[in-house]
Amino acid sequence: MWGMRVAMISLHTSPLEQPGVGDAGGMNVYVLNMARQLARRGVTVDVFTRATRPSQGEVVEVEQRLRVINVVAGPYEGLAKEELPTQLAAFAGGILEYVRCHYLAYDAIHSHYWLSGQVGWLLRDLWEIPLVHTAHTLAAVKNAHLSAGDTPESEARRICEQQLVDNADLLVVNTEEELADMVRHYDAGSAKIRIVPPGADTELFTPGAESERSTERSRRQLGIPLHSKVVAFVGRLQEFKGPQVLLRAVAELFERDPHRNLRVVICGGASGSSSAPDTYPELARELGVQRRVRFLDPRPPEELVAVYQAADIVAVPSYNESFGLVAMEAQATGTPVVAARVGGLPIAVEDGVTGLLVDGHGATAWADALATVLDDDPLRIEMGERAVTHAATFSWAASAGRLAEVFDEAVALDLPDCHQRRAEG
């Protein structure tokens, strides 16, 4: 593994972008942390992404053996994610030009999301090296879990994903459920699927030296009343992530008890066709809870810690999550999680131990679950303590170690016959 060179492809979003803004989210966190940990294991990683502003520069040296290469493909701004397929050829051409001009050679390609996978598939055949692909989300699964108002993923995307399932040398998924989804919806052969659970930065996300003082300090920093109960939501503001589920549940809690001392913090930016900057503040006003809800702009991990520490509960009401990085980060800080029982969240959250899992997205069920944890101080404290222990079993270093094994396995695979004949020729 030491000395291996890997080309990571993350076309539609750079790992250096702020999570919670636009299309930046858990995948950004995943790519950046995996790449960092691989680099620290001796793997040289180049992450190719599409340039979105000229000030980025062509190459960003992140740390030793890790850099991000910004490839010009289409206009810097004003290109929606739905329009990015028009730039696949330009993006692939930009990578080829950079590699040719700098005399680079890679041992493996790791593509992230279907757009990058299409480029990786082409480069795999040109460079005659293995392609490892991570889908992160799948069109068929998203369409099966659409929330009201969401636009279905296109059939074109599903076809492209099917091609990648059929042609990638190895497929990496987060959980057993994701493996099952890939087999069920895409007829994938399980023999070439590898499970690599994501991690959390357990050195950054901690309860703090003294948990109570950390909570008080974080609340003062964020301007949150010290003696309120606090529920936080962290993530992109779109229907699929479910902030509307939390707001409706909170409205029901206040209907039950108008004097409940509860505050809600929603940290994230508008994302997707179903969301605009004022969508959720307007919903809070319609529900009559606007005075109890505070909206925060997305923030880097070093500042996000304070949001988790200030909360009594972190809510993850998504309609699907391949794993649930927010849930894991929250637990690492000692904050219990109330999450939807979907996707990989039942793995990220131990139901009844580090938080609660909720069936469905109805306001009543969510209000009941939130009240159960908010109103039982001993239970909430115990869940928080167990959450730290649970999160400690997930680290990016361990995840990268498993991914490194996948790369080793991919490199050791027999070349396809056509590649073998070229090599022998």
Mind listing the domains of the chain with CATH numbers? Answer: 5-199+396-424 (3.40.50.2000), 211-392 (3.40.50.2000)
pLDDT score of 82: 86
pLDDT score of 55: 87
Ligand-binding annotation for 335, yes or no, is: yes
pLDDT-based confidence at residue 17 (cuts at 50, 70, 90): confident
Ligand-binding annotation for 225, yes or no, is: no
pTM of the model: 0.80
Ligand-binding annotation for 220, yes or no, is: no
For the ranges 71-85, 175-189, 210-224, 328-342, the lowest mean pLDDT is seen at 210-224
Distance of CA 300 to the CA centre of its chain: 14
Ligand-binding annotation for 19, yes or no, is: yes
Average pLDDT of the segment spanning 91-113: 98
Ligand-binding annotation for 227, yes or no, is: no
Choose between 362 and 323: higher pLDDT.
362
pLDDT score of 21: 56
pLDDT score of 210: 66
201 DSSP 8-state letter: -
Ligand-binding annotation for 4, yes or no, is: no
The answer on pLDDT for 326 being more than 90 is yes
Query: 138: which residues sit within 8 A by CB, 6+ positions away?
Result: 161, 181, 182, 185, 186
For the ranges 70-74, 125-129, 189-193, 221-225, the lowest mean pLDDT is seen at 221-225
Ligand-binding annotation for 261, yes or no, is: no
Ligand-binding annotation for 321, yes or no, is: yes
Average pLDDT of the segment spanning 310-318: 97
Ligand-binding annotation for 385, yes or no, is: no
